[in-house]
Structure 1
Amino acid sequence: MASKNLLCGTCDRRSRTTEAVKYCTDCQEGLCSECLDFHGSMKSSTSHHVIDIHAVDGIGFNISKFCKVHPDMVLEYFCSDHDALCCRSCMVSDHRSCDKILPIEVAAKDVKISTIYEEIVTDVRMLNAAVNGLEDKKEKSVYTIDDSKVAVQQEVQYFQKRLQTRIQEIAVALMCEIDKVHTELSDKAKSDMNKICDRKNEIRNISEQFESVSKHGSESQIFMLINSMKEELNCHVNEFQEFLSSQKAASLLYKESDLLSVMKSFGSVEIKETPFDIKYKPFKAQKAQFLQQQRKLPTKFQLDTKFKVPGANVIGISVTKDNRLFLCDRTGSKLFVMSDKGKQLAAIRMDGRQWGIAMDEDKHTAWVTLPDTPCVQTVDIVKMEKGRLIKVPGVCYGIALIDDEIAVGGYGKIYIISKTGDLKKTCN
């Protein structure tokens, strides 16, 4: 593409040969100095994104402007409800009832500080690292196969000397079997290496294109590239995961036979396979970028219901999906459960006054801090019953759940404990 775009596209169509000095990423062609002036003065191209001709050397802006469903229509909008680019025909057929359809120029604003942009950058980098890591380990595996072949052959030769001439023919047969297995393993390893190289090149092309567009493209082009390459990245991730799970480090082992008197073979050749220790976590594409998430926040708040909880001094609160309120009492031992309209549903007697509460609805459990004990106590939010106590090294107030661990705050310290009570870490 670089050599093709070194010439001005406009002049070329007029049978003139002029060297291009700029490149229009919207027109996808080079422009000489004279044509650049005309290009900038035309109303239809005043908003086009023009960059230096050397910025596209070897890398193209292959961002399709046209709709896949309606090939003759240009992509002009982004539907945040469906997380998809769309044209005018798409809007009529598929997005008529959608509330959040924005022009691409508006939706793409500040795309470089969006969550999805950061995740795409991270995902491409991680995928590159994983492919490179797999390539290195597979290359070492090839040498391991060769080394193990030599080691096994030496063992066979040593065993052969002990058995002398009566088993010479069997030794030759086993050596042939070793060569056969080695050839099969080597061929498979080399075939896998070729696949890895192909995949590495594909990922590098995606990475280079993404880096080039990120550096030199307009926000709209970056936004369109991100959305158009999500499906392609998903395919690469799924294919790479499947391919990665099938990869193992192979070597040859020799299993010696002890039937010297009635020997029919030297033994057998076994393949030892060890999965590669490559950590790779597939990317999780966000359905909406940072700015769109901001727009989902309510802009107006209004008091709905106000009620008192008799006999309680509420200090901590947690709400379930069915709108039940779990209220911690700092002066007594009762954990109050209320409806969102103020009706008391239960009063669970805990093993002390409470302070903070964290909810794990998937496991029907709430975790409550008891600063006087000091402990964390579980609550069954279905049966409305208290559960076991977990001892905390120091006084505890605030609480949060992080995966399978609990973070509890005290005086100048945060304790990270497991759900079984094991202290994992203390943060000062």
Structure 2
Amino acid sequence: MAVPGKKGSKQFSSSTTSMASDEDLQVYCQPCDEEGTRLPAHGYCTDCKEHLCKTCFTVHQKLKSTRHHTVLDAISMPKVLHQPSTSIHKSPSDDLTTPCCKHPQEIMKFYCNGHKNLLCSVCVTLEHQAAICKVDYIPDTSGNIINSKEYQVILQALNTTFDQYQQMVKDVKEMTAKSNRSLKDALEDIKKFREEINQRLDELERQVVHVAKVTEQENNSNITAVETSCEEVTKSLKISSEKIKQLNTSKQANTLFMELKLAEKLMEDVEKTAPQLSTYDVKEHHFKENETLLTKLKTEKSLGILTHKPLHKECQPVQIKSRQSSHEGEICVKTSKDESSCYITGMTLLTPDLLIINDFNNNAVKMVDTSSQSVYDQLQLDDGPWDITTITSTELAVTIPYKKTIQFISVSSNKLKKRHTLKVDKKCFGISCYQGKLVVSFLKPTKLQILDMDGTILTTFDGKDIFMFPYFVTCNSSSIYVSDWWMKTVTRMNWQGDVIGTRCCTYSCMSELKGMSLSDDDTLFVCDDARCVIEEISGDCSTGKVVLENLKAPYTVCWCSETKKLYYSCNSSNERIANFLNIINCDKSYTNVL
């Protein structure tokens, strides 16, 4: 198919058009002709001694390297096409042969310093303005590039990067080998554990078999004794009976009389011993399984847990002010099921080793094993969960604000499972449980409600004049605490809805209070993601002190009283920050800094 402006390659035998064909006598753009496109000339550059099309003419006047050239318009330009004489020396641009990725028919001969891109002439004309971009013609700027400082710096950077990636490959191989060795060891441990179980079962079997054999021996011994006694009695009775019959036949009256009296005596003796023989208790024996053991084996889903610990270099610890606290590490909570970076908005502890977290962005509730520092299980929900609370050691409740529901979740065999849901009338955010009662915060309108486990509303507190955005709540036997990021307050209420204390952070216009956690001495840890600190507030909300600072927008927090560890998440667009939970070791011996 013919394309306008295209032509086949032609060989010129002379430097002028005098020996060319009629087609060659036409005045056309010489730069475009070299790239295989023939376009009519629109002007002429006397410095370059080339005819230019309209596009090349415009570009020629814009480029730094050619804008001072003398150009003639279509009226003033030569009407004869001049061809350069044949030379063994290549043009400076002859080795530029890389086609443009946007315009494959064009060769990249320019470089934009502003955008740091290689360009063709079309790119320069259409996308790079002379007033903004600094575009260089490569042959004009490449003359001093040989053995230049730029050459040395870039080459050194390439070598450094090459070495880094070689080291990375080496590290990966070493970590993979270590991982494989650990898997082999784990398989050996599984086999050893199974052998221990078998040995224990064998021992239990030997015990019950021993009891059965002892019982069998006792039975045999008792039966033998009874049989012997019965045989002796029957033998005596038979002898007496035969003797009496014989004496009667021989009519020996005196002897018969005596024998009959002896037989009566024998019968009396037998009657006395008969009850002793009949008291022997003969039993039927059966084996009854250990139902607890059997049920345990049936309900257990696995022989054990194969835990995972990342083999990567530890990151630099977070700098914190208190010397009594130290950054112990971090836990990656992003999994292969996640489609977005994590947004951890709620946390609660089931045990010191099991941390349950809400990942709002990925619509997930995750079980984190704090000992192995890995996500052990993940439960997908229909929408993003916000806050979470522990009801019992095996039951949780989470708020799903944009579905206006509270989802109950059970924990069995270290697995998370959906249970029933409670439908509420507004968007529910904060949630906390105490002695079978749920405290839930709502927006639009703002309010607090106390519900039982069936969803029955026990009390409603109007928050119109108290709260604006009560995103988080927590409670204990005497108080309900509400964190409001807009009002910059932590409000303490009693269970009757009376405000009995307020901690106001309006001394800092940057404050934005978010997640909270009650410590074992009923003080509060509160995240302030705008000031990048975690503050500890007294139980009566009268005083407070910054205990951790220079954090990366801490969003929610969880305190473990047994291990004295503080877990917190960060709200950040940086995935490296958002996808990790931080672990802080605390001894609660802080210095008051307020």
- TM > 0.5: no
Structure number having the greater helix percentage: 1
TM-score normalised to the size of structure 2?
0.23
Structure number having the greater strand percentage: 2
Larger RCO (CA within 8 A; separation ≥ 6):
1
TM-score normalised to the size of structure 1?
0.30
